């Protein structure tokens, strides 16, 4: 999932749609969030983020290796990767570094790391770095209202409340500063993406105000034979009205990546 977000941000009913189509779903916490390992080391302050100053304790490649280790345990024949925002950058690295374990990859709200496309609107993202001035639940509801899709509904706001409360109940607070440092130190993946051979889908909203739509277009251009799904009116979120197109795309890509006569593997829930 995205920056600082736990696995519970993958909505239960979103995952149920995928399992209903014959896919297994594994959700997991990246390092430094939820039930995953907390890593010692410097992160990025709000000031440092705006100044593009960051010393990375770990890299996106390290986070990709974490994911590959999980795949080895739960899906030894390979997995279909789906990543959102930060998760999409990690998914790209997994596909590059562990191609033998990757049947297909879906990159949502991502970029290829070239430093010119998909630039981050830092002054909008800064509110996710520093503590909210109001209570954390309503603070994130307000934040997603600013960065999210034009057609967000009251149900989408309630989904955010549920995810925040579930995250808070699962353990101590999450520190996204080190994850931010990894993003600020990301590498240009275009050449390596150009060597991928598995099916790939790139999803991006044309109203994304965090990672500009050029990031999705550049990612799709870098991956041979990839499909670009640019959704009109979608921001930097997965509002419910986007689900049919996104879920159809995930299934379509997974079916292409599954071996003949074998039910495609996805990711199983690891709550």
Domain CATH number, residue 174: 3.40.50.1820
In a domain, 162, yes or no: yes
Q: Of 270 and 93, which is predicted with more confidence?
A: 93
Are 217 and 117 in contact by the 8 Å Cβ rule? The answer is: yes
Of the candidates 63, 71, 118, the one whose C-alpha atom is nearest the C-alpha of residue 93 is 63
- Is the pLDDT confidence value at 59 over 50? yes
Domain with 64 in it: 7-257
Q: What percent of the chain has pLDDT over 90?
A: 62
Strands (E), the chain: 79-84, 102-108, 200-205, 227-231
Q: What is the pLDDT of residue 112?
A: 97
How high does pLDDT run on average in the chain? 86
The residue with tokens 């986070």 is 63
For residue 211, count other CB atoms closer than 10 A to its CB. 24
CA distance 237 to 147: 8
Burial code (b: 16+ CB inside 10 Å, e: under 16) for 173-199 equals ebebbbbbbbbbebeebbebbeebebb
- Is the pLDDT confidence value at 101 over 90? yes
In a domain, 31, yes or no: yes
Are 41 and 178 in contact by the 8 Å Cβ rule? The answer is: yes
**Inter-CA distances, 69 with 100, 101, 271, Å:** 13, 10, 17
In a domain, 269, yes or no: no
Contacts of 17 (CB under 8 A, 6+ apart): 243, 247
In a domain, 120, yes or no: yes
In a domain, 263, yes or no: no
The helix/strand/coil state of 204 is strand
- Is the pLDDT confidence value at 268 over 70? no
The helix/strand/coil state of 15 is helix
Q: Which of 67-71, 120-124, 190-194, 252-256 has the lowest mean pLDDT?
A: 120-124
Query: Average pLDDT in the 134-157 region?
Result: 87
pTM value is 0.89
Structural domain total, the chain: 1
Q: Which pLDDT tens digit goes with each residue over 194-207?
A: 999 999 999 999 99
Burial code (b: 16+ CB inside 10 Å, e: under 16) for 247-265 equals bebbbebbebbbeeeeebb
Q: Model confidence at 144, in pLDDT bands (50, 70, 90)?
A: confident
Q: What is the pLDDT of residue 130?
A: 56
- Is the pLDDT confidence value at 14 over 90? yes
Token duo for residue 236 = 């930097």
In a domain, 136, yes or no: yes
Q: What is the pLDDT of residue 216?
A: 98
In a domain, 262, yes or no: no
- Is the pLDDT confidence value at 155 over 80? yes
Q: Model confidence at 35, in pLDDT bands (50, 70, 90)?
A: confident
Rama region for 233: left / alpha / beta (φ>0; ψ in -120 to 50; rest): left
In a domain, 64, yes or no: yes
Q: What is the pLDDT of residue 131?
A: 56
Contacts of 52 (CB under 8 A, 6+ apart): 184
């Amino acid at each position: 999932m995205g920056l600082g977000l736990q696995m519970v941000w993958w909505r239960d009913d979103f995952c149920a749609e995928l399992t209903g189509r014959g896919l297994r779903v594994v959700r997991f916490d990246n390092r430094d969030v939820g039930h995953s390992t907390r890593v010692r080391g410097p992160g990025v302050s709000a000031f440092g983020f705006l100044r593009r100053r960051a010393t990375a304790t770990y890299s996106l490649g390290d986070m990709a290796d974490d994911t590959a280790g999980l795949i080895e345990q739960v899906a030894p024949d390979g997995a279909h990767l789906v990543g959102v925002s930060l998760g999409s950058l990690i998914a790209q690295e997994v596909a590059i570094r562990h191609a033998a374990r990757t049947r297909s990859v879906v990159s949502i709200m991502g970029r290829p790391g070239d430093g010119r496309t998909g630039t981050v609107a830092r002054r909008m993202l800064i509110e996710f770095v520093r503590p909210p001035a109001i209570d954390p639940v309503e603070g994130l509801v307000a934040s997603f209202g600013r960065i999210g899709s034009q057609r967000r509904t009251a149900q989408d706001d309630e989904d955010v409340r549920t995810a925040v409360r579930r995250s808070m109940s699962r353990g101590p607070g999450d520190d996204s500063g080190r994850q931010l440092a990894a993003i600020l130190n990301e590498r240009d993946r275009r050449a390596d993406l150009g060597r991928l051979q598995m099916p790939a889908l790139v999803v991006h909203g044309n109203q994304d105000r965090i990672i500009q739509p050029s990031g999705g277009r550049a990612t799709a251009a870098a991956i041979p034979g990839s499909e670009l799904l640019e959704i009109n009116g979608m921001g930097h979120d997965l509002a419910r009205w986007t689900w049919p197109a996104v879920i159809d795309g995930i299934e379509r890509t997974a079916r292409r990546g599954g071996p003949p006569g074998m039910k495609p593997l996805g990711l199983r829930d690891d709550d």
